[in-house]
Amino acid sequence: MDSSSNQNLPRSSLAKELPPVDLFVTTADPELEPPIIPVNTVLSLLALDYPTHKLACYVSDDGCSPHTFYALQEASKFAKFWVPFCKKYDVQVRAPLRYFSDKPAVSMANETSEFKQEWLQMKEKRPKQSHHFKAGAMNVLTRVSGLITNAPFMLNVDCDMIVNNPKVVLHALCILLDSKGEKEVAFAQFPQQFYATLKDDPFGNQMAIFIKYLTAGMAGLQGPFYSGTNCLNRRKVIYGLSPDSMENGNSLSEEELEQKFGDSKEIVKTVAHAFEGKTYLPSDVNISIVVDIATQVASCGYEHGTGWGKQVGWIYGSITEDKLLGLTIHEKGWRSELCTPNPIAFTGIAPGGGPTAMAQQKRWAIGLLEIFFSKHCPLFGTMFHKLTLRQCLAYMWIINYWGLKSIFEVSYACLLSHCIITNSNFLPKDLGMCIAIAFFTVYKIYTISEYLAAGLSFRAWWNNQRMSRIASMNAGFCAFICILLKMLRISDTIFDITKKDVPLTDDVRDDKDAGRFTFDESLVFLPGTTILLLQLSILFMKLLRLHPLSECGVVEIFCSIYLVICYWPFFRGLFEKGKYRIPFSLIYKSIILTCFFVHLCKGTIDG
Ligand SMILES: O=c1ccn([C@@H]2O[C@H](COP(=O)(O)OP(=O)(O)O[C@H]3O[C@H](CO)[C@@H](O)[C@H](O)[C@H]3O)[C@@H](O)[C@H]2O)c(=O)[nH]1
Ligand SMILES: [Mn+2]
């Protein structure tokens, strides 16, 4: 839905009828997510254009950091000045860091030992001890907010996603409160867009094309994926209600409620209230009693033997908890709606550098493969539940794009090298060759036209083409190995948090080095380095004619050269210095793998 016109937004005279909204922010690591980032996100949320007494903001910190805690306390004091200021002057971007971005950012995170002590004395999780990662954190926020405010709608954002359009909640409510939307639409999703981005998307993760074509296209099916942030959810849906039961209301008995939601009488009461649509006012709750109960139900032990993470709340079992939750909601027959107001609703930080970008891609690939190999596989959703066929195909598309296709890409890269070494073919020769070339050309022209039509540059297109090869063969392939290890019960998957750099200033962004690919010792770069070395050595052998002149086709040689061009950042990485260099440890491992592969191929000739 394009709600770029503001005419349908509820007028302020209707403010009395607006429902309360709970706002959720998750943060997890004070080093990778410096407190200044979640603080800005929270301040931008508190300053939304919405009746202040109907908003309640909850922050979870899986890192249990005294820095973040202190920064947020300071932020709440600052909010008393900031929020009225924004409203008075109708500021659009209500995150101070962004608003004052020309001036140096003030560090808010000065710790005092007193706070540190008090915080450590509190129970609420220990750092480095995870409980279903973000999904666990979201469920805690759901229970705690249920006790205190119990708002029928919950807006959740990642700690780096600031509000860019103060009317976002009103826009989303236009959809969710609509008489048809009320019965059919589970959540309103805003696209995940970024600010202070690098020119031409050097790391291929700004997702402009994904949003413009795929997400918008899905809006015409059962609706966009839940992307884990920038989303207004209905509490009842999170509590497991399906569209059918929406009409008849909740039919669960007290025992069933207790079995699903845990044995806290208070939680069961708030859930029953949520099903009836009853919310709490500050005067309804005795905060000192509630804090005690909240501490109790916030502990992960509370979920033991209940339906949390299985039938209710954020569902466990995948580190892309967002896609899994969205999928289970769609399976129940709900729709979702895309909401694209003007100006853009939220903006966040796109990860830069090689290791950060790869870690994120790898996590997504692992999470999506976890879904594919579980009972929540979209195919079952269509066969046995209410996931529509085309929606199922959309889910399969991302599972394939991030996870499955990596196996094929790596296999083709090996096959190609095998053919060149053994002087054989896998692509048709002579006239048949035209088919392969035609496919390649048509596909490239089509994707270029998509980029140009979206107002992006040719360079951005190429960066995305290249990065999609690199991400797939490195992050995707490693993800596949991780899943294998998980299935063999050798190791479990974990949520590697994306490092969030404090937003770049203009002069840094214009610096060419900002877009250069960086490396670290991580094994995620091993497949790529090996593939590159393999191509380089076989091309070299061909060039020196160490190898009998080709029986293998021109197309194979062309593919090999194309791979080298795609891997240009790796090629440079062989000769650069510092973080731009591929570490020797990786190069050695790659050389061994390359020799081993060549040896195997030669073996097949002799054999
Ligand atoms: O154990 C954890 C791990 C992460 N987080 C929070 O989860 C959010 C997303 O983490 P981030 O490292 O920024 O991951 P991204 O890859 O940038 O996130 C995208 O992908 C995730 C799924 O992999 C979704 O949950 C996110 O909403 C989506 O923006 C952040 O606020 C974190 O603080 C937690 O609360 N607990
Ligand atoms: Mn993020």
**Active-site choice (22, 29, 61, 62):** 62
DSSP per residue, 434-501: HHHHHHHHHHHHHHHHHHHHTT--HHHHHHHHHHHHHIIIIIIHHHHHHHHHHHTTS-----PPPP-P
Segments forming the whole domain that contains residue 498: 176-239+313-607
Q: Does 520 reside within a domain?
A: yes
Nearest to 312 by CA among 329, 296, 299: 329
Q: Is residue 105 part of a domain?
A: no
Alpha-carbon span 489 to 28, nearest angstrom: 26
Per the DSSP assignment, residues forming a β-bridge with 55 are: 21
Backbone dihedral region for residue 353 (phi beyond 0: left; psi -120 to 50: alpha; all else: beta): left
DSSP lists the bridge partners of residue 308 as 312
- Is residue 134 part of an annotated ligand binding site? yes
List Cα–Cα distances, 127 to 105, 116, 169, 231, 374, in angstroms: 27, 14, 33, 27, 29
Residue 510: the pLDDT is: 66
Residue 357 C-alpha to ligand 1 middle, in angstroms?
13
- Say whether 116 counts as a known binding-site residue: no
CB distance 66 to 100 below 8 Å: no
Q: Closest by alpha carbon to 26, among 126, 141, 130?
A: 141
pLDDT of residue 526: 97
- Tokens representing 114 are 């007193």
Decide: 79 and 125 in contact? Cβ < 8 Å: no
Give me 391's structure tokens: 């929606």
**pLDDT at position 605:** 73
**231: Cβ below 6 Å to ligand 1?**
no
Distance 20 CA to ligand 2 centre (A): 26
Identify whether the C-beta of residue 598 lies closer than 8 Å to the C-beta of residue 537.
yes
Q: Which amino acid is at 276?
A: E
Q: Which two tokens stand for residue 60?
A: 């979870």
Type of residue at 419: C
What is the radius of gyration, based on Cα positions, of the chain? 26
Q: For the segment 13-70, what is each residue's pLDDT rounded down to a tens digit?
A: 566 789 999 999 999 999 999 999 999 999 999 999 999 889 999 999 999 899 999 9
319 CA distance to ligand 1 middle (Å): 9
Please indicate whether residue 520 is annotated as part of the active site. Answer: no
Q: Are 207 and 471 contacting, i.e. CB atoms less than 8 angstroms apart?
A: no
Overall number of domains in the chain: 1
Please indicate, yes or no, if residue 440 is contained in any of the structural domains: yes
What's the start-to-end Cα distance of the chain, in Å? 62
Is any ligand 1 atom within 6 A of the Cβ of residue 497? yes
Ligand 1 binding pocket includes 33 (Cβ within 6 Å) = yes
DSSP structural state of residue 412: H
Closest ligand 1 atom to residue 33 Cα is 33
Query: In this predicted structure, what is the pLDDT of residue 88?
Result: 81
Distance CA 195, CA 506 (A): 11
- Assess whether the C-beta atom of 27 lies below 6 angstroms from ligand 1: yes
Its ipTM equals 0.98
Q: Which pLDDT value is given to residue 607?
A: 54
Predicted confidence at residue 415, as pLDDT, reads 94
Host H or E run for residue 90: none
Pocket flag, ligand 1, residue 193 (CB < 6 Å): no
Assess whether 322 carries a catalytic annotation. yes
> What is the reported pLDDT for 17?
85
Distance of alpha carbon 265 from alpha carbon 258, whole angstroms = 8
Pocket test for ligand 1, best of 23, 24, 26 (most atoms within 8 A of CB): 26
Distance from the alpha carbon of residue 251 to the mean position of ligand 1, in angstroms: 34
pLDDT at residue 345, rounded to an integer = 96
41-to-29, 77, 103, 230, 346 alpha-carbon distances in Å: 15, 15, 18, 11, 10
The pLDDT of residue 489: 86
- For residue 3, the 8-state DSSP code is -
Which has the closest alpha carbon to 531: 598, 465, 576? 598
The b-or-e profile of 79-92 (16+ CB within 10 A means b, else e) is beebbeebeeeebe
What is the SS3 string spanning 115-183? HHHHHHHCCCCCCCCCCCHHHHHHHHHHHHHHHHCCCCEEEEEECCCEECCCCHHHHHHHHHCCHHHHH
316 neighbors 271 (Cβ within 8 angstroms): no
Amino acid at 384: F
If you measure from the C-alpha of residue 364 to the centroid of ligand 2, how many angstroms do you get, rounded to a whole number?
11
Phi, psi of 522 (to 5 degrees): -55, 140
Strand 231-234, strand 162-163: pairing: unpaired
Six token digits for residue 23: 């706002």
Tokens for 200, please give them: 């031409």
Decide whether any atom of ligand 1 lies within 6 Å of the 326 Cβ: no
Q: Classify residue 309 as left (phi > 0), alpha (psi -120 to 50) or beta.
A: left
Ligand 1 atom nearest to 32, measured from its CA: 12
* 284 is annotated as contributing to ligand binding: no
Nearest CA to ligand 1 atom 7: 134
Domain contains 151: no
Q: Are 45 and 512 in contact (CB under 8 A)?
A: no
Residue 453 forms part of a structural domain? yes
Q: Please tell me if the CB atom of residue 360 comes closer than 6 angstroms to any atom of ligand 1.
A: yes
Dihedral angle sign, alpha carbons of residues 501, 506, 507, 512: positive
Parallel, antiparallel, or unpaired: how do β-strands 231-234 and 185-189 relate? antiparallel
- Those residues of the chain that have pLDDT short of 50 are 1-5, 12, 102-112, 114-123, 125-127
Say if 429 falls within a structural domain. Answer: yes
Helix (H), strand (E) at residue 594: helix 584-606
Which residue's CA is the closest to the ligand 1 atom numbered 17? 498
CA distance 96 to 517: 30
Q: How many helices (H) and strands (E) does the chain have?
A: 27, 9
- In this structure, the dihedral spanned by the alpha carbons of residues 61, 366, 235 and 329, taken in order and rounded to 10 degrees, is 180
**Ligand 2 centroid from CA 348, angstroms:** 7
**567 within domain boundaries:** yes
Phi-psi group of 254: left, alpha or beta (phi > 0 → left; psi -120 to 50 → alpha; rest → beta): alpha
Catalytic residue among 61, 160, 322, 501: 322
According to the model, what pLDDT value does residue 8 have?
Answer: 63
Q: List pLDDT tens digits, range 81-120.
A: 888 888 888 888 888 888 877 443 333 344 445 434 443 4
**Cα torsion for 283, 285, 287, 290, to the nearest 10°?**
-170
94 membership: H or E segment, kind and range: none
> Quick check: is 112 in a domain?
no
Strand 162-163: give its sheet, edge to edge.
162-163, 346-348, 193-194
Helix (H) or strand (E) holding 299: none
The residue to mutate among 64, 193, 497, 499, having the most atoms of ligand 1 within 8 angstroms of its beta carbon, is 497
